[in-house]
A and B are shown apart, each in its own frame.
Chain A
Amino acid sequence: MKKLKSIGSVLSGFSKGNIDFLPVGFIVVLILLWEGVARLALVPPFILPAPSKVLHTLVTTLPLMEQHITATMFEAVVGFSIAILAGILLAIMMDSMKIIKRVFYPLLITSQTVPIIILAPLFAMWFGFGYLPKIVIVVLVCFFPITLSLLEGLESVDKDLLNLLKSMGASRWDIYRMVKLPAALPSFFSGLKISGTYSIMAAVIGEWVGGKRGLGVYMLRVRQSFAIDRVFATIVVIVLLSIGVLKLIGYIEKKAMPWNKEI
């Protein structure tokens, strides 16, 4: 027991300031393990390259990847923005008019059961090989979590609070502006975080079908030439971009809800 306690206190000591060093340490151990496996040549390098090799490739090929990163980011940002607008609009409409919810809600749920990977080639057929089919995929992937979480936020506002505002003669617009929209912000942001992380991945999936630029296109090319280290380098870039989007949303969330910070 004593031993367990001391381990516990050592582990809790790993977090300093805002950073929890425990998961960081765990990842470092995993990477070191991987490096060891690769160095000892337990797995051939064309199947699993060493992390050091991946890092080296990442640094040297980054200038080459730049245009692909830009293309993917463009698709993700445009698609995500459209998804946000569509999500907000649809959620407010479903919340304010029950008939719209009755019509759209089942359709919305069903739409999420359609496998996007199968749809992607169809979109290429319909919309060509430019940016459009990729953006459409990003929108389809992203708007659902946004719509659903915002709708939930709007519907969970205290009924007594709504009654109070009605008794004061507040209009529907007043109620949305003053109560419903701010009250729904926390759930709206949790939806944004989910779909924000998906946005980059969705763009990459869209690019797999074909195109001129984009990390998905690049990934296919390097995989076909068996440059596995470059495949891994691309994965690292995608992961970093997704985390970047997540962090940015988290930052905006904190700025948008100053009252939450002090609780």
Chain B
Amino acid sequence: MKKLEIIEVTKYFDALYTLENISLSLEKNQFISILGPSGSGKSTLFNIIAGIEKADHGKILIEGRDYTGKPGRVSYMHQKDLLLPWKTILENVSMPLIIKGTEKKDAKKQAEPYFHLFGLEGFENHYPHQLSGGMRQRAALLRTYLFSQDIMLLDEPFGGLDAITKRKMQQWLLSVLEDLKASILFITHDIDEAIFLSDRIYILSERPAKIKEIVDVTIPRPRDHTTFTCEAFVRLKEKILAIL
């Protein structure tokens, strides 16, 4: 069954189209990237999927049910970690559970076992400013995961990191996804990142954002650092560059 379906979503600000007729479907355990220039309305699309912004036309279906304009089902992760500086990492990541109504103690207990997998073990009681940028992004990802384990929307999650940390985080994300079994929608403007991570890439045009082309990435998994230089990767990159 399709995890998430975006059906003909259109959005305009004043008379200006931001999103024009976007349709997309995400299968279970699939990793889809949305590749497009910055400021092309990709984040607006995520706000619409998360239910906090209204589309002027179109529908959002999650597991077949209509979730158009209803928040609280899927959350997203931002380029900024958006961790609360006055809460410890454990308190930060268990926040979505508390919002859902879980007792503080139980929420922490549910969050704790994931610290090892997310490479945050031993930092439960640290404050965000004591962690490196990469670790903060991992904590933000854990918070997103604890909110909705099956579907995650990642909005340029590694966009604010330096190139070396970014590479490491991409490889870590792939390895951790083997355990998590989540369906992921990933926004990026980095072609290498999109190819390396995804099963399928939706290429968006500049404003108004329209789907220009859908590219399937058939490079077998598991992928590692050699993927970046393999022939299939380079050919795919050439193709995408030509489209953009």
Contact = CB atoms under 8 A, between A and B. Distances in A.
Given A160-B78, A262-B127, A165 B47 contact: no
Contact of B127 (A158, A165, A259): A259
Contacts of A169: 71-73, 99-100
Nearest to A164: B82
Nearest to B51: A167
Nearest to B70: A169
Nearest to B74: A167
B99 A257 contact: no
A158 B72 CA distance: 20
A167 B86 contact: no
B96 interface: yes
A38 B130 CA distance: 56
Contacts of B87: 259
B141 interface: no
B157 to A, nearest CB: 13
Nearest to B96: A168
B9 interface: no
Among B51, B52, B87, B129, find the residue whose CB has the most chain A CB atoms closer than 10 A: B52
Contact of B82 (A160, A166, A263): A160
A262 B52 CA distance: 35
B95 interface: yes
Given A163-B47, A163-B52, A178-B95, A168 B72 contact: yes
A145 to B, nearest CB: 23
A47 interface: no
B80 interface: yes
Query: Which of the four size classes fits the interface of chain A?
Result: 20 to 34
A168 B84 CA distance: 15
11 contacts: A167-B47, A167-B50, A168-B96, A168-B99, A168-B100, A168-B147, A169-B72, A182-B84, A183-B84, A259-B86, A262-B127
Nearest to B128: A259
Interface residues of B, number: 26
Given A169-B71, A178-B84, A164 B78 contact: yes
A126 to B, nearest CB: 44
Contact of B52 (A167, A178, A182): A167
Interface of B: 47, 50-52, 71-76, 78, 80, 82, 84-87, 95-96, 98-100, 127, 129-130, 147
A174 interface: yes
A262 B75 contact: no
Interface string A177-202: 01100110100000000000000000
Contacts of B71: 166-169
Contacts of A185: 86
A59 interface: no
A209 B96 CA distance: 56
Contacts of B80: 158, 160
A43 to B, nearest CB: 54
Given A167-B71, A168-B99, A168-B147, A161 B82 contact: yes
Given A158-B82, A168-B99, A178-B95, A262 B50 contact: no
A98 B213 CA distance: 44
Nearest to B147: A168
Among A163, A167, A174, A263, find the residue whose CB has the most chain B CB atoms closer than 10 A: A167
A165 B78 contact: no
Nearest to A256: B86
Given A167-B51, A168-B71, A259 B85 contact: yes
B60 to A, nearest CB: 13
A166 B84 contact: no
A166 to B, nearest CB: 5
B86 A164 contact: no
Contacts of A262: 127, 129-130
A259 B80 CA distance: 19
Given A259-B85, A263-B129, A164 B100 contact: no
Nearest to A170: B99
A183 B99 CA distance: 18
A168 B145 CA distance: 12
Contacts of A168: 71-72, 75, 95-96, 99-100, 147
B72 to A, nearest CB: 3
